[in-house]
A and B are shown apart, each in its own frame.
Chain A
Amino acid sequence: MSHRFEDVASVRTKLADARYLADEGIAGIVYLADRLGKPILVEGPAGTGKTELAKCVAEVTGARLIRLQCYEGLDESKALYEWNYKKQLLRIQTEEDSDWADIEDDLFSEEFLLTRPLLEAIRAEDPVVLLVDEVDRLEIETEALLLEILSEYQVSIPELGTVVATQVPLVFLTSNATRELSEALKRRCLYLYIDYPDLDRERQIVESKVEGINENLADQVARIVRSVRQLDLKKHPSVSETLDWARTLVLLGIDKVDAQTATDTVNILLKYRTDIDKAVKEFADNPDELVPEGA
């Protein structure tokens, strides 16, 4: 079986070319998933680039991205396959006088099968990356739908038999951890937790993703965001919010953030009123009164 990546370093450089800055852990696990032929379960706070990772991996491997967005009430007919009832009815009606045996054989053929994302990923001839987004939104019973695909890369259709994948697709499952996923699902996956990036990586992300930002501003943005994340907030600023903030600053033509600009634009970074109040207070306060973290 041919592999998509030669080694961990090549994962990193390739992803960097697609402007996704992977750290050691991310690159290592993507490499491992490729080698072991196992799906990756990606967890972490919202807006840290979980979905983005799948997209970029698809991009750099030249694969087609097939995406299944999960939601409550998603079922087999939306995720795997469905028989086209209406077309089947028409088929019966048009040939009312012909032999039933013929029609019956015909009814459950490929022609009447509507493939949904999971089956499509299995049957694809070209290389694909399958992204199952926000898998934690599924009910626990529906999760079982995924199990066969994830471990055997096959789908059993009672009327047709088992469809086995011609090639092992790279599978990403993302979760915001709003609930504990089942043991069975976790066991089948490699687990990757993407946390907020550290200072250096965040600065690099800002520099690579925001057009026309200078080094100083990027550095300052990353440092302010890190300080804000240390506060006890309801919702910490995500990477995407950091990027939005940096873009805003660039658009406003600011090249140095002072307390006033930070206060004026903090509503892009934070989305709760109490959080904004807290941050504004921190920015403006006399820092000598503050006990630094961990000192």
Chain B
Amino acid sequence: MVSLAEPTTHGGEHPLLDLLSDFIVELRRAGLPVSLTENLDAMEAVTHIPIEDREAFKYALGATLVKNHAHWKAFEVVFEVYFSLRGPEYEVIREGDDAVRSDGEDGEVAPGDGQQPQGGGGGMQALTPEQLAEMLFKALMNGDAAMLAALARQAVTRFAGMEPGRPVGGTYYLYRTLRNLELDDLLEQLMEASREDAPEDLTPLEERLERDEFSDRIEQLKREIEAEIRRRLVADRGIDAMAKTLRKPLPEDVDFMHASREELANLRKAIYPLTRKLAARLARKRRHGRKGALDFRSTMRHSLSYGGVPAELKFRYPRPAKPEIMVVADISGSVAAFARFTLHLVYAISNQFSKVRSYVFIDGLDEVTRFFDGVEDIGEAVHRVNTEADVVWVDGHSDYGHAFGVFWERYNRDIGPKTTVLVLGDARNNYHASQSWILKEVQHKARKVYWLNPEPRAYWDTGDSIVGEYGNHCDGVFEVRNLRQLEAFVEKLV
């Protein structure tokens, strides 16, 4: 593995190779594991593919550099930044004639200082906003991809109000452009128009399909606009600055506690394949990890093929005992997302345990095992836990002490020597009594007690966090801030 801070050679006689090595350095900075061999493969691959064929070029780089589909998105963003079409037409301030695009469409001139389009230049400049809206409507109606791309460029020119050198992110410009296009209403208008066009009334199914089709086209328009803004920003601020702004953590490294709504949605998508993988791996490990006792009968049978010499020893399949799991999770605001993902993961691999019981608390505590009984859709059950469980006792601020008290009072009989107890939470107790003696008692009765904390280790025991005090009575306290750490812990648990 080459170190991340590998110096890049500038000023060589191969501008493409220089760009490529900068590109790879940026991929590494974004967290993608690109090895030296892969680097060399990419260099060789591009000699077979002409850079003009942008799609093929992208796939060639992707195939050699990205070996995990979850990283593809991150790769695409960096690729867009480094190999976007750059040229005079993307200069933000310069006025003048635009280069005609290779696909033969008219480009357009960026406006000067105001947001008002100025005359001259390509064909779309002269349009009134109404005409533009109508063209957009038609393009969406007919699914005209080339037209949509041209309109996206025009929309950015008119509405984004991009100013050179201004240090705002692309999201701001995107928001401005989209607001001006009023896309939400557009969907309804499109539906209306397609209802009118149809010879007879649309059945609900047809209506649904039409709607999906239009949403898809609108999404495509949004992507075009986003790409267009990104291209112009790259032209304005330079590659390095843009790459830095756009750098985002990979899905498995996203912090549970600070994930944005979009990141959470991505996490939810990521957790399905993850649990499937984990379940398959654990089942396999269980079967293959250890060998069972010698199977004498089978060994004798196989020895017959070697003239009675027991050359090949056969073993019984091991049947290790499955642990029993109790999950006790804090679901107050700050750590709710973390509890959700952990519950999801634990239930997804529940066939690895002889029994799973789960409890959630804020200041009161409720058993939620019933939500998961006989339910196929774990996501749905987790959702119900969050909305239906009775977890508020006084004021709805975390009170670990009281919650543990309730847990001990009601369920201490169920803790046995086979039970592993997982406590999930940041141990921010709002200065209530800790009642840590309960955890001590639990540790006596249970096989193991583990505490999973979604906070970075540096914040532990600061402010009202008392994870250290609870930790004294646990067999292990783990920092679990992202999917990667969660997966590693669960695997160890089984």
Interface residues of A (CB under 8 A from B): 8, 24-25, 28-29, 31-32, 35-36, 38, 40-41, 43-44, 72, 85-86, 89, 139, 177-180, 183, 186-193, 199, 220, 223-224, 226-227, 230, 232, 234, 257-259, 262, 272-274, 282-287, 290, 292-295
Contacts and interface: CB of A to CB of B under 8 A. Distances in A.
Most chain B CB inside 10 Å of its own CB: which residue of A180, A187, A199: A187
B379 interface: yes
B48 A191 contact: no
B125 to A, nearest CB: 30
B253 interface: no
B469 interface: no
A295 B212 contact: no
A41 B67 CA distance: 9
A36 B45 contact: yes
B212 A230 contact: yes
19 contacts: A28-B49, A28-B56, A28-B59, A29-B63, A32-B64, A177-B69, A177-B277, A178-B276, A178-B277, A178-B280, A186-B67, A187-B37, A190-B64, A191-B63, A262-B205, A292-B215, A293-B212, A294-B219, A295-B183
Interface string B30-60: 0001010110010011001100010110011
Given A8-B53, A259-B205, A287-B204, A72 B284 contact: yes
Interface in B241-280: 273, 276-277, 280
A180 B277 contact: yes
| Size category, B interface | 35 or more
A230 B208 CA distance: 12
Interface string B63-86: 110111100100000000000000
Contacts of B208: 227, 282-283, 287, 290
B306 A85 contact: yes
A245 to B, nearest CB: 15
Nearest to A188: B37
A213 B48 CA distance: 40
B187 interface: yes
Contacts of B63: 28-29, 32, 40, 190-192
B207 interface: yes
A257 B205 contact: yes
A213 to B, nearest CB: 18
Interface in B296-322: 305-307
B239 to A, nearest CB: 24
A258 B66 contact: no
B93 interface: no
A38 B67 CA distance: 14
B209 interface: yes
B66 A191 contact: yes
B56 A273 contact: no
A72 B283 CA distance: 12
Interface in B176-235: 183-184, 187, 203-205, 207-209, 211-216, 218-219, 222
B376 A273 contact: yes
A28 B61 CA distance: 11
B277 A259 contact: no
A295 B72 CA distance: 24
A227 B209 contact: yes
Given A24-B59, A191-B62, A232-B379, A259 B288 contact: no
